[in-house]
Structure 1
């Protein structure tokens, strides 16, 4: 059992340089869209205590780029050492960041722009094929592109939480013409497979190293659980039945009087939702969004099923039983395209369940990449042989039962920060994130 090889450009300096440049420019274009689409008041306001002001994210993106590319790779002196503490995510929780003496919007834009210009100069001359681990295969540049895209997703969450008219627009995702003919679930046979990666050059530390897992056979949903299916759980009294809920989840439901996913409300017998400043009927055929791990777990129990483990999810998404290899993506080793997955904020919603037939895995499951982050049953833990790189605070400090693993990415995730091995994690109470789920069962 092996994993797929690294991308073909992994050892070529010029190909890596082009790849890194494209990733950095794409991230900055998206950051600009997210910050230029609102006025300075919206940039400096805190739209939820769960999130930072948008202007904090903007300057933090520049500060991290300066830290790792200008100081780390190029060894240059700090441009603005006095602001390092302001933009240290571990030093200041999100709820307190508005009280800090943050850079004003114009100053934050100018700082991030100046850092980017200098970083591109570093990229032009940095040796990428070999050398220290931080620059080998362009890792530092890929890490910064991923970091910026992750904050772009965070800023998109803030856009969803802000009140007022829509500031963003996007075309509708493709339909799912063959959805009625798809089976509700598919079989994933038991046996070993390669989990994680040692070959993907821009994989982050928690994805490493590749290792063998033996997973008993199981059955998993062909598509993520839809709003229509989740509505049946609501209408059957799911939020009022303690037996479906983990104790902490039941306490959350009672404390906050929850009766539906975040942003849903009932009006004249109809379920509506607010999505990026627009109120609309909840679409039955779309994957449910903005549910916590506790809600996903309760639905699965109500349905007589369970959430898949992280290893089960990855085997369903990557294992090719014909070759015995683990693919980079469900469809193969090629990078994502618009025909294969709903990624990159091309659309501002998940596609209907059953969309993207070109992106399905060998087992027959679809939409494993993009659309919605999928909660798994697993705690966020290190793989055997894990080594923190390039800093402990990226992954290691979050390991433990407090955080649950999400897989697959969402419509808000860029391709550079989404792989078959990519691991996300969050507290099981989180609902503002672009999270959904699918269920599984034993044979």
Structure 2
């Protein structure tokens, strides 16, 4: 198989440099957690802004609880700090809707707890071996916890989007798309490619193992669907025509009276949206965001296209037609920079469609990483040879037709928590997440040589 060889950036580091890399990743994640929780007062921290989300203070203490379980207790072999918190902050013990009623740590106590855990985790980092166990090989446990914190940071960012009140988060505007014509679609050649990974040290269990997949030729949009394009769907009666919707999607749309993406509002002078407390006209050139799988599917049907499968998405993002190798990212194997993708809450919105030319794939597909999570048509399942690690609840318990796979990350995804193989999943009804989509279609006669 033609995967990235077993010599990625982490594998080339000395133990000392690996520890420094881990410390930097942990520090960046914590700085973001602090910024998201310090942006509001204590009343906002303990408030439940939506039954879909936990109070922000729960997420903060949960981050510390997971770090204590895996880094302090397991890797470090240290005595528990707060074993009384294990069940309280176990995401499988209590639904998000019920967490506000739990005897949660208050803001000051939660902050003190996560600081104490982090001090002990960094001490463990200085002493723990970087090999010997699968959990410690290439500092996997530290990478898992760093990704976990960044994932909860994105969850907390989504909670900020749901809160009411004046804006409290601020960031510079993303770059504009360069001028000039670009192709709207590209043909992705058919054939086999290596999907998933067995080489990425911090890849999570559902990304493994690497395996060959034969993907027939298909045509893919070079950018995600924009708000302007989506407005044409609205104007064309997309939400009123049952024929564009699946039976489940139409039932959900009717039951909840969904007539536009979440956070959009119809005003006499046009469509507006609310974004982190700011009311603004819907930006026509930005990728549409806060749409469910059902809405994305209906749009694709209206446009005479379809959503890509997960394998199609990954082939477009990773396959190098010159070498035949699967890259780590669309642009190559190097880690994402500000030139490659809109990640990590650097900006508080998607960039215009067509931005980040340095991050495009060899075939010219842009923004496959960052900006908006992209719905695929694939149900979430394990790859052939899947093995749960280090616990079944990370992904295996979610396998099945209830969840759809999303790919690529959003403007709120930490760079450490996304790569060409990374898989996200959610219910097809979800709209509070930073999700958009791009369309695919089968080639027309004569398009494939």
- Mapped partners of 2:202, 2:370: distance in 1: 19
* Residue of structure 1 in register with 2:253 after alignment: 253
- Mapped partners of 1:298, 1:166: distance in 2: 33
- Mapped partners of 1:296, 1:437: distance in 2: 6
* Residue of structure 2 in register with 1:166 after alignment: 167
Partner SS state of residue 181, structure 1: coil
Give CA deviations for 1:28-56 in whole Å, capped at 9, x if unaligned: 00000000010000000000000000000
Instruction: Provide the TM-score with structure 2 as the length reference.
Output: 0.97
Question: Per-residue deviation at 1:411?
Answer: 0.3
- Mapped partners of 1:228, 1:15: distance in 2: 47
* Residue of structure 1 in register with 2:143 after alignment: 142
* Residue of structure 2 in register with 1:46 after alignment: 48
Question: Per-residue deviation at 1:8?
Answer: 3.0
Partner SS state of residue 43, structure 1: helix
- Mapped partners of 1:342, 1:214: distance in 2: 30
Aligned residues: 441
Give CA deviations for 1:171-228 in whole Å, capped at 9, x if unaligned: 00000123x5011101100000000000000000000000000000000000000000
- Mapped partners of 2:345, 2:10: distance in 1: 26
* Residue of structure 2 in register with 1:422 after alignment: 422
Structure 1 residues without counterparts, runs of 5 or longer: none
- Mapped partners of 2:10, 2:146: distance in 1: 17
* Residue of structure 2 in register with 1:348 after alignment: 348
Partner SS state of residue 10, structure 2: coil
* Residue of structure 1 in register with 2:330 after alignment: 330
- Mapped partners of 1:264, 1:306: distance in 2: 24
* Residue of structure 2 in register with 1:225 after alignment: 225
1:52-91 matched pairs, under 5 angstroms: 52-91=54-93
Instruction: Provide the TM-score with structure 1 as the length reference.
Output: 0.99
Partner SS state of residue 382, structure 2: coil
* Residue of structure 1 in register with 2:307 after alignment: 307
* Residue of structure 1 in register with 2:446 after alignment: none
Contact 2:205–2:387 (Cα < 8 Å) also in 1: yes
Contact 2:10–2:201 (Cα < 8 Å) also in 1: no
State whether structure 2 residue 95 is matched by structure 1 residue 103: no
Question: Per-residue deviation at 1:83?
Answer: 1.2
Partner SS state of residue 299, structure 1: helix
- Mapped partners of 2:442, 2:17: distance in 1: 45
Question: Aligned match of 2:124 in 111, 122, 125?
Answer: 122
- Mapped partners of 2:385, 2:19: distance in 1: 30
1:278-317 matched pairs, under 5 angstroms: 278-317=278-317
1:339-418 matched pairs, under 5 angstroms: 339-418=339-418
Contact 1:9–1:15 (Cα < 8 Å) also in 2: no
1:208-223 matched pairs, under 5 angstroms: 208-223=208-223
- Mapped partners of 2:9, 2:327: distance in 1: 14
Aligned CA-pair RMSD: 0.7
